[in-house]
A and B are shown apart, each in its own frame.
Chain A
Amino acid sequence: MHNKTLTELTQCLANKDCSSEELTQVFIDRIKLLDPSLNSFITINEEQALLAAREADQLRAAGKAKPLTGVPLAHKDIFCTKGIKTSCGSKMLDNFIAPYNATVVNKCNAAGMILLGKTNMDEFAMGSSNETSYYGYVRNPWDQACVPGGSSGGSAAAVAAGMTPAATGTDTGGSIRQPAAFCGITGLKPTYGRVSRYGMVAFASSLDQGGPMARTAEDVALLLNVMAGFDEQDSTSLDAPVPDHTATLNDSIAGLRIGIPQEYFREGLNPEVEAAIIKASQALEKLGAEIHEVSLPHTHLSAPTYYIIAPAECSSNLARFDGVRYGYRCDAPKDLDDLYMRSRDEGFGDEVKRRILIGTYALSAGYYDAYYLKAQKIRRLINDDFQQAFTKVDVLLSPTTPEPAFKIGEKVNDPIKMYLNDIYTIAVNLAGLPAISVPAGFVNDLPIGMQLIGNHLQEAKLLNIAHQYQQVTDWHQRQPEEV
Chain B
Amino acid sequence: MELTATDVSKIAYLARLAIQEDNIPQYADNLSKILEFVTQLNSVDTDAVEPMFHSGHIELRQRADEAKQPSNSRDKILALAPDAAAGLFVVPQVIEDK
A contact residues vs B (CB 8 Å cutoff) = 96-97, 99, 191-193, 206, 232-233, 235-236, 238-239, 298, 300-301, 303-305, 307-308, 315, 319, 322-329, 333-342, 344-345, 348, 353-354, 356-358, 360-361, 364, 371, 373-381, 383, 387, 415-416, 419, 430-433, 456-457
Q: Can you list the 3 inter-chain pairs with the closest CB atoms, starting with the nearest?
A: A432-B55, A376-B51, A341-B18
Residue of A nearest to B84 (CB): A325
A339 to B17, CA, bound (A): 10
Asked if B6 CB lies within 8 Å of chain A CBs, one says no
Q: Looking at chain A's contact residues, is the secondary structure mostly helix, strand, loop, or mixed?
A: helix
B38 to chain A, nearest CB (A): 4
For the complex, is B8 an interface residue (Cβ under 8 Å from A)?
yes
Partner of A361, one of B31, B50, B56: B31
Nearest A residue to B45, CB-CB: A377
B95 to chain A, nearest CB (A): 10
Cα separation A375 to B60 with both chains bound (whole Å):
21
The answer for the CA separation of A313 and B42 in the assembled complex, in Å, is 21
Write the B59-88 contact mask toward A (1 if CB under 8 angstroms, else 0). 011010000100001001101111100000
> Complex: how many Å from CA A339 to CA B81?
14
Q: How far is the CB of B6 from chain A (nearest CB, A)?
A: 13
The answer to whether B80 and A341 have CB atoms under 8 Å apart is no
Closest CB of chain A to B54's CB: distance in Å?
Answer: 5
Determine the residue in chain A with the shortest Cβ distance to B60.
A235
Contact B19 A374 (CB under 8 A): no
- Which of B12, B52, B80, B94 contacts A357, CB < 8 Å? B12
Contacts of A239 in B (CB 8 A): 61
Q: Check B15 against A356 for contact (C-beta < 8 Å).
A: yes
Contacts of B83 in A (CB 8 A): 329
* 20 contacts across the A-B interface (CB closer than 8 A): A99-B77, A193-B58, A233-B68, A300-B40, A301-B44, A315-B15, A327-B82, A329-B82, A333-B92, A334-B92, A335-B94, A342-B18, A357-B12, A361-B3, A375-B38, A375-B41, A378-B44, A380-B52, A416-B34, A419-B37
Contact call B44/A381, Cβ cutoff below 8 A: yes
- Residues from chain B with Cβ under 8 Å of A300 in the complex: 40
> B90: shortest Cβ distance to chain A, in Å?
9
The answer to whether B38 touches A304, judged by C-beta atoms less than 8 angstroms apart, is: yes
Given known contacts A191-B57, A339-B91, A345 and B20 CB-to-CB distance under 8 angstroms: yes
Bound Cα distance A238, B44 (Å): 32
The proximity string for B residues 13-49 relative to A, scoring 1 for CB distances below 8 Å and 0 otherwise, is 1111111100000010011011101111111101001
Contact of B11 among A305, A307, A327, A357 (CB under 8 A): A357
Quick check: A336 and B92 within 8 Å, CB to CB? yes
